[in-house]
Chains A and B, each alone.
Chain A
Amino acid sequence: MHQILVINPGSTSTKIALFQNDKELWQESCSYSSEQLSGFSKSIDQFELRWKDIQKIIEVKKLNVKHLSSIVGRGGPFKPLKSGTYLINKHILEDVKKGRVQADHISNIGVLLAHQIASEANLPAYFVDPVSVDEFDDIARISGLPELERKSLLHALNIKATAYYISQKLGKKLANLNLVIAHLGGGISICAMRKGQIIDVNNANEGGPFSPERSGYLPVSSLVKLCYSGKYEYPELKRKLVGKGGLTAHLGTNDSREVEKRIESGDQQARAIYEAMAYQIAKEIGAMATVLKGQIDRIAITGGLARSQILMDWIQDRIAFLAQVEIIPGENEMDALAAGALRVLTGEEKALSYQ
């Protein structure tokens, strides 16, 4: 039996959960207001604040850290890495502390927090499938301009967890499966997974279907014109691409339930935009199907938007011909992190070493 503590720092809260094998025993969360966090210019500066609150929870829960098997922290936009569960070692700690990462994001400190607890009890600590998982075939890296390499950044944690779920359901090893997996959340990642490896994905910040908050692919000449129009500063334009694009830009909300309510009450504009999002998702799935040369065991649709029946109907109508579709709504990062640690603890998988 393995006891695993999961630490997941998000932009406005830190979630902490205790697992016994794959079963969650409890979960706690401490939230932060934007005023509380406004003083920190870099994510790493929040370490002390987050650490203190984690200690409080450990105390309140009367958790004896020495009885744990391991700690697992959420990974961040580190350097490009192979998919898997990584032992947190001095190299990753150094890289995060020195800012040798692809972007500043609060998830980066997950490894610092996990390590802090683990080192006191002399336990192994891990991180699992960070957003910087990169298993691209070289051919997928090439864009139409040498200066702009296509990069692998994706919702790897949930996508990999979904892949494991399907492999168990089918009773087949991941290494024997070809999957197209669509993670539909505030951002959208659609990937081609060949024998367990994510060989291509739209980068949710840089392209693919538009999503509740991101603009996705845009006709590039029009985008360039906008950049040079003098109307926008760079940060404002960036927010139009990520944060305030997609549904938010068209409909003023990123909440799909709100959009569906409007559609039900006859709002044609809301319907047209929502349907266009489904259309672009279907096209991206079709594109990834050719990456796998049509040899696809399953298409999986996951993430919060997979709860939307109308969206699922529209998408399936266009892609049902490709392969059987599995709809696995929601995402559970805590489960996925615990499962990643557990695979290593049970010996099912070997921990990877961050170099």
Chain B
Amino acid sequence: MKKQFQILVINPGSTSTKIGVFKNETETFNHSISHSVRELDAFSKMTDQYGYRSEIIQKTLLENGFALDSFDAVVGRGGLLKPIPGGTYHINQKMLDDLTEAKRGEHASNLGAMIANSLGNIANAPSFIVDPVVVDEMEPEARISGMPEIERRSIFHALNQRAVARKACQEIGKGYEDANLIVAHLGGGISIGCHSKGRVIDVNNAFNGDGPFSPERAGGLPTGQLAELCFSGKYTLPNIKSKLVGKGGLVAYLGSNNSLEIQKRIEKGDEEASLVYRAMGYQISKEIGACAAVLKGQVDAIIVSGGLSNDDMLMQQIRNHVRWISQIFIYPGEKEMEALADGALRILKGEEEVKIY
């Protein structure tokens, strides 16, 4: 009988922690633990929450009949680390130090490695993170912008992009390391990556503002007009920042980041909603076309994923614009928990070598 590995998956969000138990690829248990704002407010720094969250997770596992020492590995979502190549990483002291210092920003995902490490120690099992948002495999030509003081950076939905890329590779019967793929992650933020033979050689930076606008983010903007806005004296820096991330894109035009609600408005004949929503699909298509040029037209598949890919209307529009480039796979939703478990499983099975931070 093949060995069954039991893996604990930890995915911390701002006000909740999702946990999952996997037997190899199969999820046998999942639970989302909510944290009240009052409890979290007691900690001055986000990273101080890890002990508190770890304890609740232990309790939840015990209540549901899982002993910590039954796990072969604990895997947490990766955070804002230094730029690194993609893959599954051992959690080490250097990583924990960087996360504690939060040099590259505070984010709930920074807790993933800390919690996984502490639970891994108790369980006497290895702990990992997989494909954090800071995965950076960009080619030199992709890093250069038109202004020397501004470098193009790779920050994107690496975890889900890689997971759906591997899934498509299984369907087309090609190894991920042999394939050229364009992967579009369409969520609250949008990232579109050029995967060339296992490496993401270019991707729009969904966090720092380029590429298509998204439900909540402004994406790339006319630079001269943006500078004019900044110098107009009408806005503070935080004002402008929130326009770019959080209150940009669909929210700015339509007051909603909810695509279901917007679709309903379109069905009722709201022409502005229709135009803006189609403009988002138009920009997504253009970004996919830009990636096709990066890959010199040799594209094995285009993969569309994330919450917005549930929307048939949007998918049909994108299909119309880009289907001549390659075959299209649509994987709605986001499979972070599975992607984390799979990343750990590849190491346990010896299919991939673990990386050192």
Q: Enumerate chain A residues within 8 angstroms of B227, measured Cβ to Cβ.
A: 223, 227, 234, 237-238, 241
Task: Of the listed stretches A29-37, A144-152, A158-166, A305-313, name the one at the interface; the rest are far from the partner chain.
Answer: A144-152
Instruction: Name the interface residues of B142-178: CB closer than 8 Å to any CB of A.
Output: 142-150, 152-153
Contact A224 B244 (CB under 8 A): yes
- Chain A nearest CB, measured from B217 CB (Å): 7
* A273 touches B (CB below 8 Å): yes
Choice from A207, A238, A240, A272 contacting B220 with Cβ under 8 Å: A207
A195 to B30, CA, bound (A): 55
B356 at the interface (CB under 8 A from A): no
Q: A219-B150, A246-B146 are in contact. Are A290 and B210 (CB under 8 A)?
A: no
B229 neighbours in A (Cβ, 8 Å): 147-148
When distances are taken between beta carbons in the complex, the residues of chain A under 8 Å from B322 are: 290, 294
CB contacts (< 8 Å) of A211 on chain B: these are 146
Set of chain B residues within 8 Å of A228, measured between Cβ atoms:
230, 237, 240
Let me know if B222 and A206 touch, CB within 8 A. Answer: yes
**Chain B residue contacts of A150, Cβ below 8 A:** 222
Interface residues of chain A, those whose CB is within 8 Å of chain B, are: 138-140, 142-148, 150-151, 203, 205-207, 209-211, 214-228, 234, 237-238, 240-242, 245-246, 249-250, 272-273, 275-276, 279-280, 282-291, 293-295, 317-322
Q: Are A144 and B213 closer than 8 Å at their CB atoms?
A: yes
The interface centre, meaning the residue of B140, B249, B292 with most chain A CB atoms within 10 A of its CB, is B292
Alpha-carbon gap, A143 to B282, bound state (A): 11
Given contacts A143-B222, A146-B252, A215-B223, contact A250 B148 (CB under 8 A): yes
Name the one of A145, A215, A285, A293 contacting B320, with C-beta atoms under 8 angstroms: A293
Name the residue on B nearest A210 (C-beta): B146
Complex Cα–Cα for A207 and B219 (A): 12
| Contact partner, A227, options B231, B279, B288, B294, Cβ 8 Å | B231
User: Known interface pairs A215-B145, A218-B147. Does A143 touch B289 (Cβ–Cβ under 8 Å)?
Assistant: no
A286 touches B293 (CB 8 A): yes
Check A318–B146 contact: CB distance below 8 A: no
Interface residue count for B (Cβ, 8 Å)? Answer: 70
Least CB distance from B262 to A in Å reads 14
* A151, closest chain B residue (CB): B222
Q: Are B240 and A224 in contact (CB under 8 A)?
A: yes
Alpha-carbon distance between A272 and B145 when the two chains are bound, in angstroms: 11
Return the contact of A283 from the options B221, B241, B293, B325 (Cβ within 8 A): B293
CA distance A224 to B324 in the complex (A): 37
The docked-state distance in angstroms from the alpha carbon of A207 to that of B218 is 15
**Chain A's nearest CB lies how many Å from the CB of B210?**
5
Taking CB atoms, residues of chain A closer than 8 Å to B289 are: 286-291
Closest 3 CB pairs of A and B: A210-B146, A321-B297, A144-B213
- Please tell me which one of the listed residues B217, B248, B293 contacts residue A282 in the complex, with CB atoms under 8 A apart: B293
- For chain B, residues 105 to 162, give those with C-beta under 8 angstroms from any C-beta of chain A: 140-150, 152-153
A216 engages B225 (CB within 8 Å): no
